[in-house]
Amino acid sequence: MTNEAAPHAEAASQAEASLQAESPQAESLQAEVGPDVGSAAANGQAAALERLFGRYHFPPGPRRILLAAATAFAERGFHATTTRDIAAQAGLSPAALYVYFRSKEEVLHQIVASTLAFTVEVVATEANGPGSPADRLTGLVRVLTLWTTYNSQVGHVVLYQTSALSPEHLTDITAKQRKVSQLVRQVIVDGIGTRDFDIDDPGAAAIAILSLCLDVPRWYHPGHRLTPQKLGDFNAAAALRIAGATQ
């Protein structure tokens, strides 16, 4: 309340601005979805997050806090995580969090917003790519499945912790989530138009196909017998079947 225009939340605010304004070079979006070859699966989650927060130019201090918070929020949930937990995991004092962020809730918002901003980029690239609607749907489902599989931890946060956001932040996040749904829906509508797909209700089909991809963080854990690649291929094939793709 007394912290309305706190001078010390600048790093986060700058990053927030850059989140909206700047679009980093999209040369290798697909490569960035997953971990580097050879990196351990478990560590891959943290490494992917490090890269994500790096993309949006968070300085080292905020980045350590965001990384620690994302892991804790995923494992225990927002309300079960204390600011002391986050600070300890980041190797900082409890007060450090408030040097970079206005509140614990803002930490959550930064995590969710940057994750979703990247997701929208990745999905849009595939949805608006060249090729037939079937090709675009395949690419989209594969890349989204890879993303949720490799990043199942932060996926948990984006999907199941957003109710802890303030109303304003929730509006922002809901808009980004709707954007992803819209992109999927458009590919299906296009496919119906070209008679590549045969399905009555494109809205319901979009929801079902998104469910395949977005339900992953609920049950997947690193080391599952289905590798991210296998799961991406399976979901892509299942999506084509749901859409009634004509062979």
Per CB under 8 A, residues contacting a second copy are 75-80, 159-160, 163-164, 201, 203-205, 207-208, 210-212, 214-215, 218-219, 225-226, 230-231, 234-235, 238, 241-242, 244
Pick one of a second copy, DNA, none as the site partner of residue 84 (Cβ within 5 to 8 A by kind).
DNA
Interactions with DNA, residue window 58-77 (CB under 7 A): 59-61
Pick one of DNA, a second copy, none as the site partner of residue 204 (Cβ within 5 to 8 A by kind).
a second copy
Single-letter amino acid, residue 77: G
Instruction: Write each residue from 216 to 235 as x if it is in contact with DNA (CB under 7 A), else as -, in one continuous string.
Output: --------------------
Query: Going by C-beta distance under 8 Å and a sequence separation of 6 or more, which residues neighbour residue 229?
Result: 146
Looking at beta carbons only, is 21 or 95 nearer to DNA?
95
How big is the chain by its Cα radius of gyration, in Å? 19
- Told to check if 109 binds DNA by CB under 7 A, we report no
Out of 66, 104, 117, 145, name the contact with DNA by CB under 7 A.
104
Segment near DNA (CB under 7 A), from 33-41, 84-92, 141-149, 176-184? 84-92
Out of 98, 179, 224, 238, name the contact with DNA by CB under 7 A.
98
Give one DSSP letter per residue of 15-40, joined into a string: HHHHHHH-----TTHHHHHSPPTTS-
Q: How far is CA 129 from the centre of its chain?
A: 20
Instruction: Report the C-alpha gap between 201 and 187 in whole angstroms.
Output: 13
Looking at beta carbons only, is 96 or 187 nearer to DNA?
96
Q: Is 223 helix (H, G, I), strand (E, B) or coil?
A: coil
Out of 49, 52, 72, 96, name the contact with DNA by CB under 7 A.
96
Pick one of DNA, a second copy, none as the site partner of residue 215 (Cβ within 5 to 8 A by kind).
a second copy
Looking at beta carbons only, is 22 or 215 nearer to a second copy?
215
Q: Report the candidate in 197, 202, 158 with the shortest Cα–Cα distance to residue 184.
A: 202
Instruction: Report the C-alpha gap between 157 and 67 in whole angstroms.
Output: 12
Instruction: Report the C-alpha gap between 85 and 21 in whole angstroms.
Output: 32
Q: Report the candidate in 102, 157, 113, 105 with the shortest Cα–Cα distance to residue 20.
A: 113
User: 31, 129 in Cβ contact below 8 A?
Assistant: no
Q: Which residues bind DNA (CB under 7 A)?
A: 1-3, 6, 8, 59-61, 81-84, 87, 91-96, 98-99, 102-105
